[in-house]
């Protein structure tokens, strides 16, 4: 484990004018104590330089791991904060999507991540802020460049109707019209096939994936109901942990040993949550307590695991939320700490961990790396479209009969 002294804290990106800031704070000589927001003064914050951005198309160095947060939010989708998704790319060319919460797919597109690089998907639990983006990514992937089956990994439940297989069967029904319509129009491929890998949520740990030098294990979380799992990915002597929604657990502590970069969720302060929603504090407290981790508990966990970098994610990122979270974390934990925003990027090597912000266009085209296969559609469009519809289509004038409305 390294002992990096700098703590990088992303405090937000003002997307409209394209400006991002970061805080750099040296905690080496600080006592661990709770400080008020007003005690955080300006001199502790430095602006990012131009080298602190990542643009689309940057390769991953051969011996590094790159982790990009494409969704840092919790529950409610916002223009500035998509629901949870974390993308892990390895120097050997492998890539893994962890959760695909609502809204996050747009950030993958902004960074020109092709659908073919999103074909291995690991779900932490079956809440829609972690899997709401899957139906679209599944259905439109073959319109981009995913011509191989979607491999989806995720937890079992306490009964079969609460597990991943059941959920994906339902998604196949939900997307059936979409899939048939594309299969009748697009070159045939295996892109609409899905291989479901349901993982026993009770295992601590269980092996989710073990190929090509990449080991992904999973361990349980304590959500409102059972069936939530965290993932730990190890490759080339490097390690990252992707979190589920969970109350603080001893599983976090056991499985967080000897890992370089560990994400963990943090629930918002019930008081701030209640104030902003104008609901009783008790109601906000109930939601936070049901499935989430307070920043104080986050600090306790990381005081035990001591990673090279601890990262807050799946939280509400607003001007009045982040500094109180950091204050409360610092009650127990004085090690390296970052707060992930959408588009926060970490490069992990054996020597250092760097933090940047990914910058891509708001109006990207879908990135297609592989030429479209030169094959006919799998289905015949005439089996699904009646002559009556063809008769109502306004033709081009060169194809029109005399007197027929045309263009
Ligand atoms: Zn969640
Ligand atoms: Zn959840």
Ligand nearest to the CA of 229: 2
Q: What is the pLDDT of residue 371?
A: 62
Count Cβ atoms below 10 Å from residue 346 Cβ, excluding itself.
Answer: 25
For residues 145 and 313, give the distance between their C-alpha atoms in angstroms, rounded to a whole number: 30
H or E segment and range at residue 89: strand 85-90
Give the pLDDT score at 366: 79
CA 288 to centroid of ligand 2, rounded, Å: 11
CA of 381 to the centre of ligand 1 (A): 40
The count of other CB atoms within 10 Å of the CB of residue 319 is 9
Burial of 401 (0-12, 13-18, 19+ CB in 10 A): exposed
Name the region of 177 (left: φ>0; alpha: ψ -120 to 50; beta: rest).
Answer: alpha
Helices (H) and strands (E) in the chain, counts: 11, 19
CA of 74 to the centre of ligand 2 (A): 8
Q: How far is the CA of 48 from the centre of ligand 1 (A)?
A: 29
Give the model confidence (pLDDT) of 108-166 as tens digits.
999 999 999 999 999 999 999 999 999 999 999 999 999 999 999 999 999 999 999 99
Question: CA dihedral defined by 205, 206, 208, 210, rounded to 10 degrees?
Answer: 90
pLDDT at 277: 85
**Residue 343 pLDDT greater than 70, yes or no:** yes
Alpha-carbon distance of 54 to 21, in angstroms, equals 14
Joined together, the tokens standing for residue 405 give 């409305």
Burial of 148 by CB count in 10 Å (0-12 exposed, 13-18 middle, 19+ buried)?
A: middle
pLDDT per position as a tens digit, 365-374? 877 766 666 7
Residue 353 — φ and ψ, nearest 5°?
Answer: -120, 125
118 CA to centre of own chain: 11
How far apart are the C-alpha atoms of 290 and 225, rounded to whole Å?
A: 9
Q: Quote the pTM value.
A: 0.87
Are 357 and 54 within 8 A, CB to CB? yes
> What's the pLDDT score for residue 31?
43
Residue at token pair 């937890």: 155
For the stretch 171-229, pLDDT in tens is 999 999 999 999 999 989 999 999 999 999 999 999 999 999 999 999 999 999 999 99
φ, ψ of residue 358 in degrees (nearest 5): -80, 135
User: Rounded to an integer, what distance in angstroms lies between the CA atom of residue 297 and that of residue 281?
Assistant: 19
Q: What is the DSSP letter of 187?
A: P
Distance (Å, rounded) from C-alpha 121 to C-alpha 150? 8
How far is it, in rounded angstroms, from Cα 168 to Cα 195? 10
Look at residue 32 in the predicted model and tell me its pLDDT: 39
Dist. CA 42 → ligand 2 center (Å): 35
What does the pLDDT look like over 17-34, one tens digit per residue?
Answer: 333 333 333 334 444 343
Which pLDDT tens digit goes with each residue over 230-243? 999 999 999 999 99
State the distance from the centre of ligand 1 to the C-alpha of 264, rounded, in angstroms.
Answer: 11
pLDDT tens track for 19-77:
333 333 333 444 434 333 333 333 334 444 456 899 999 999 999 999 999 999 998 88
pLDDT of 277-317, one tens digit each?
899 999 989 988 999 999 999 999 999 999 999 999 999 99
């Amino acid at each position: 484990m390294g002992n990096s002294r700098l703590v990088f804290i992303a405090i937000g990106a003002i997307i409209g004018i394209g400006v991002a800031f970061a805080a750099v704070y040296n905690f080496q000589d600080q006592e661990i104590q709770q400080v008020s927001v007003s005690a955080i003064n300006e001199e502790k914050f430095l602006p990012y330089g131009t080298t602190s951005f990542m643009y689309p198309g940057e390769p991953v160095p051969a011996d590094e791991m790159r982790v990009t947060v494409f969704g840092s939010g919790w529950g409610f989708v916002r223009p500035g904060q998509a629901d949870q998704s974390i993308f892990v790319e390895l120097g050997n060319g492998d890539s893994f999507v962890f959760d695909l919460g609502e809204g996050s797919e747009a950030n993958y597109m902004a960074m020109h991540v092709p659908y073919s690089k999103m074909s291995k998907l690991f779900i932490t639990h079956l809440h829609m802020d972690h899997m709401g983006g899957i139906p679209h990514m599944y259905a439109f992937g073959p319109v981009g460049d995913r011509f191989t089956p979607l491999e989806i990994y995720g937890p079992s439940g306490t009964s079969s109707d609460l597990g991943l297989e059941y959920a994906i069967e339902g998604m196949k029904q939900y997307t059936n019209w979409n899939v048939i319509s594309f299969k009748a129009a697009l070159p045939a491929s295996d892109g609409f096939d899905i291989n479901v890998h349901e993982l026993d949520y009770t295992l601590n740990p269980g092996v989710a994936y073990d190929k090509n030098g990449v080991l992904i294990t999973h361990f349980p979380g304590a959500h409102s109901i059972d069936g939530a799992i965290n993932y730990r990915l190890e490759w080339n002597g490097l390690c990252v942990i992707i979190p589920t929604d969970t109350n603080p657990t001893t599983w976090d502590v056991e499985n967080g040993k000897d890992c370089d970069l560990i994400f963990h969720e943090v629930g918002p302060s019930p008081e701030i949550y209640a104030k902003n929603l104008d609901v009783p504090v008790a109601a906000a407290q109930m939601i936070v307590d049901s499935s989430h981790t307070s920043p104080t508990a986050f600090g306790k966990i990381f005081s035990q695991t001591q990673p090279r970098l601890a990262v807050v994610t799946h939280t509400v990122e607003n001007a009045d939320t982040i500094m109180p979270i950091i204050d409360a974390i610092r009650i127990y934990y004085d090690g390296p700490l970052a707060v992930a925003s959408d588009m926060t990027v970490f490069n992990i090597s054996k020597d250092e961990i760097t933090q940047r912000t990914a910058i891509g266009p708001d109006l990207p085209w879908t990135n297609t790396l592989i030429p479209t296969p030169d094959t006919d559609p799998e289905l015949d469009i005439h089996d699904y479209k009646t002559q009556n519809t063809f008769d109502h289509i306004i033709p081009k004038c060169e194809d029109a009969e005399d007197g027929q409305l045309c263009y």
